[in-house]
Chain A
């Protein structure tokens, strides 16, 4: 092999560079997000249920929010009937956030962990949070 030494050294430097994120994070434990549901409004609910089952909300809340937005703004339909036949007013600020008033512990906890930055709060007003 011509210039074998140079090539091997080059390869080692390249691999070290590419694998940097891997060994940089070895041994560091990133904190698992633990979204909190306890707000005073939720505590007062007799039946602690969101608009749809928990598993669905966990996986599909962004889809539901998108549908809600289109329904309210574009079709003028502001009433949501869930899979159990219960009715909810479609509104991020006035329905979702009235219960989940702990935005930092409920929304941001996971969004920060997953490095997802939804632009909801550029316009919608987040509820005032009380220090706990």
Chain B
């Protein structure tokens, strides 16, 4: 028995309507279950755009620097390979001419020239690392944090080449390993936070795990007010107040990555 063109179209149309209707109902049911399952915690700090101001006037002694670096590196299980070639760093220091190339000149105040500047990932508005990452392992969160998803990183290091601030480090060696003398690279593991594995890129994540618990980043907490952290899009926030009353500079602003870390100098 052959089917006429008219009948075929009738059946095809009817089954399409049934099919789509059925899909819609199934989607409705599953969506309902999934939508209610995840949420940020009740204490989580939420912002439209996180930013940090580094008040270099408040850094006096070496201890001031050591404290904040130690606070960050110890809670995030950042390994110390004792070798500048393999170094992993989330927050570190460097000289003015390295931190702000193009802004230095030979008649600058001697103190400023020799002063170590606190450097970390700038959590740019327009992050080049995110643009080049082939697996989306590094991505920008809605609140401006440039995040690393260590599960996805394939260690291609495109992001390291793209980052103009050298804020990213590659794990050439297993961070869980030990050096020649049998000392572990991570002195004391923080059991609450994972380590990384060999072959991934890592960097500062602005303590996203602490923000979720309602805590400020570890470096800010340890800095005694030298680091100021807050929401850039909130006109009454502390960062905005500090920014509107002080002259601040950013690293390599001319590149257009729009860094969210500001520096008050002298």
- A interface list, Cβ under 8 A from B: 67, 69, 71-83, 89-90, 93-94, 119, 122-125, 127
Contact = CB atoms under 8 A, between A and B. Distances in A.
Contact of A124 (B37, B142, B194): B194
A74 B139 contact: yes
Contacts of A89: 41
Contact of B192 (A69, A71, A93): A93
B42 A69 contact: no
Given A76-B212, A123-B194, 18 more contacts: A67-B38, A69-B151, A73-B147, A74-B139, A74-B147, A74-B149, A77-B39, A78-B40, A79-B38, A79-B39, A79-B42, A81-B36, A93-B191, A93-B193, A119-B197, A123-B150, A124-B194, A125-B189
- B interface, over-half SS: loop
Residue with the highest number of chain B CB atoms closer than 10 Å, among A71, A76, A119, A123: A76
A73 B151 contact: yes
Q: Which 5 A-B pairs have the closest CB atoms?
A: A77-B38, A123-B194, A122-B197, A78-B212, A71-B38
A81 B196 contact: no
B169 interface: no
Interface of B: 33, 36-42, 44, 139, 141-143, 147, 149-151, 189, 191-197, 208, 212
Nearest to B46: A76
B196 A123 contact: yes
Nearest to A74: B149
B194 A76 contact: no
Nearest to B142: A76
